């Protein structure tokens, strides 16, 4: 690997990047010696927008200065807080504003929406997920089935990758639904699979579920803020996400949800709380529940302002950049990374994530061909040399160049460290 040539190539690509100034709007993590780390882990925890500090400080100041009056008189009145995230989230979700809401955390939102949308009837009782789903999602659906008195061993269908592959084709879901669709009440599918980085054709998944008469819900933990979404037009029934991955809203940040406008809380059962009540009459505190319009009706509690303020800061940056431009840069970062992995490391590393642009986002999942122990050593070696990636058992190194704050230079640094480590171990 020619260091000078690689760095020059990266510098040329970065010089042409119109989004490059955004990097300075984030806090870049540093090593103990103060050196800036090469952070490639935005799929797990996005970096802090510097403006998050300002917004959180403003909320603390308003609380200190105003006490309870901050509900109406804070710079961003707390009563209306969910509204400050609505437009930005709707743009990223590809939805109407009323179809999205910032609330709770991902797994909680999954439970709340499953409570409304999973309606087992007679033979139609099964839930379909992908094999190897994120543990929390599997826990949510298995515990829901049990809560309904059903046995997940017979009512939870997990679609496995075709033999020898890590990937699940949309056609596998289509053929399952073609043969067993009448048994399926609900399909819960990822936008981007957390381990493999595979992105799915969500319109195709939603259409297959609808044809079978099943509800379609999406987990967008790894998709929102990563790939452009069109939930309304794709026809999803509901979706949920967290905001600390590509949305950069910080650890434990407020999550979000989408409910298609063809559904209304007034005609669906569900768990209610005062914050889902019509805001015009919420404070009359009457016993009857009158749902708010749209997805907002699924709110239960008043929003956690301190965990929502950073999301407002981050959504502002998405609006400045535009998800289309971010996606174009993401594909450039990915192509640069892939080109050099193919040229130099294909004997050592296997790219699990599909190569076609429509089938991946920022994340590239790599399997170390020489096995799990060597893989873990490689991951630890990268960490020791200032590259932040992560490891998912049993054998996946995950790397994500994120267009809001990563550069082709970051990718070049990753490649150089990989080169050193693989040479040492061979
Ligand atoms: C990150 C992630 C979660 C995390 O759930 P929380 O409720 O936010 O703790 C759940 N599911 C998927 C698919 C994820 O990627």
State the closest ligand 1 atom to the C-alpha of 222, by its place in the atom list counted from 1.
15
Look at domain 3-47+322-425 and name its CATH class. alpha beta
> Could you tell me the distance, in angstroms and rounded to a whole number, from the CA of residue 418 to the centre of ligand 1?
29
Atom of ligand 1 at shortest distance to CA of 134?
13
> 346 — phi, psi (to 5°)?
-65, -25
CB atoms under 10 Å from CB of 193, counted, come to 27
What is the signed CA dihedral for 103, 106, 107, 110, rounded to 10 degrees?
Answer: 70
Mutate which of 106, 133, 143, 240 for ligand 1? The one with the most ligand atoms within 8 Å of its CB, which is 106
What local confidence, expressed as pLDDT, does residue 241 receive?
98
Atom number of ligand 1 nearest to Cα 44: 1
Q: Give the binding-site residues of ligand 1, using a 6 Å CB cut-off.
A: 105-107, 134, 136-137, 190, 194, 219, 221-222, 242
Please give the helix or strand (H or E) that residue 241 lies within, else none.
strand 238-241
Calculate how far, in angstroms, residue 193's C-alpha sits from the geometric centre of ligand 1: 11
Neighbours of 30 (CB within 10 A): 12
Does the domain at 57-319 match CATH 3.40.640.10? Answer given as yes
> Tokens representing 414?
């990753």
Q: How far is the CA of 242 from the centre of ligand 1 (A)?
A: 7
Domain ranges of the chain: 3-47+322-425, 57-319
Q: Residues 350-381, buried b or exposed e (16+ Cβ, 10 A)?
A: ebbbeeeeebbbbbbbbbbebeeebbbbbbeb
Closest CA to 120 of 207, 214, 218: 214
Strand 156-159 relative to strand 396-399, pairing: unpaired
CA pair distance 351, 364, nearest whole angstrom: 7
Distance in angstroms (rounded) separating the CA atoms of residues 382 and 366: 14
Determine the Cα angle at 206 with ends 201 and 209, to 5°: 130
From 250, 298, 309, 256, select the one nearest 89 (Cα to Cα): 256
- State which residues of the chain have pLDDT below 50: none
* Paired sense of beta strands 256-259 and 238-241, if any: antiparallel
b/e map 386-423, b = 16+ CB within 10 Å:
bbbbbbeeebbbbbbbbbbbbbbbbbbbbbbbbbebbe
pLDDT in tens, 306-340: 999 999 999 999 999 999 999 999 999 999 999 99
pLDDT of residue 425: 82
- The per-residue pLDDT for 290 is 98
């Amino acid at each position: 690997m020619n260091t000078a040539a690689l760095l020059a190539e990266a510098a040329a690509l970065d010089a042409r990047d119109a989004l490059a100034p955004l990097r300075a709007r984030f806090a870049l993590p540093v090593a103990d010696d103060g050196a800036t780390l090469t952070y490639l882990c935005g799929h797990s925890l996005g970096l802090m927008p510097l403006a998050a500090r300002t917004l959180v400080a403003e909320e603390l100041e308003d609380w200190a200065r105003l006490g309870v009056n901050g509900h109406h008189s804070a710079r961003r009145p707390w009563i209306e807080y969910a509204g400050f995230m609505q437009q930005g989230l709707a743009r990223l979700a590809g939805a109407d504003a009323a179809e999205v809401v910032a609330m709770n955390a991902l797994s909680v939102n999954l439970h709340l929406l499953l409570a409304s949308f999973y309606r087992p009837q007679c033979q139609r009782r099964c839930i379909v997920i992908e094999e190897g789903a994120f543990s929390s999602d599997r826990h949510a659906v298995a515990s829901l089935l049990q809560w309904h008195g059903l046995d997940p061993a017979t009512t939870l269908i997990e679609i496995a990758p075709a033999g020898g592959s890590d990937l699940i084709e949309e056609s596998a879901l289509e053929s399952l639904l073609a043969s067993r669709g009448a048994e399926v009440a609900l399909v819960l599918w990822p936008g981007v699979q957390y381990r493999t980085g595979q992105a799915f054709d969500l319109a195709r998944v939603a259409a297959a579920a609808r044809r079978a008469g099943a509800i379609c819900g999406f987990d967008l933990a790894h998709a929102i803020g990563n790939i452009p979404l069109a939930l309304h037009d794709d026809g999803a029934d509901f979706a949920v996400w967290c905001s600390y991955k590509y949305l950069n809203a910080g650890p434990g940040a407020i999550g979000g949800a989408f409910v298609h406008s063809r559904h209304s809380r007034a005609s669906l059962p569900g768990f209610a709380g005062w914050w889902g009540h019509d805001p015009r009459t919420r404070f009359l505190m009457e016993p009857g529940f009158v749902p708010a319009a749209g997805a907002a009706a699924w709110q239960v509690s008043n929003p956690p302002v301190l965990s929502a303020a950073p999301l407002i800061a981050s959504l502002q940056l998405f609006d400045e950049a535009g998800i289309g431009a971010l996606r174009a840069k993401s594909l450039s970062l990915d192509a640069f990374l892939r080109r050099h992995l193919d040229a130099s490391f294909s004997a050592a590393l296997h790219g699990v994530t599909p190569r076609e642009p429509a089938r991946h986002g920022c994340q590239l999942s790599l399997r170390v061909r020489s096995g799990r122990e060597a893989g873990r050593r490689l991951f630890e070696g990268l960490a020791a040399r200032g590259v932040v990636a992560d490891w998912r058992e049993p054998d996946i190194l995950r790397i994500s160049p994120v267009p809001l704050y990563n550069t082709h230079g970051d990718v070049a640094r990753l490649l150089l460290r990989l080169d050193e480590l693989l040479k040492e171990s061979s």
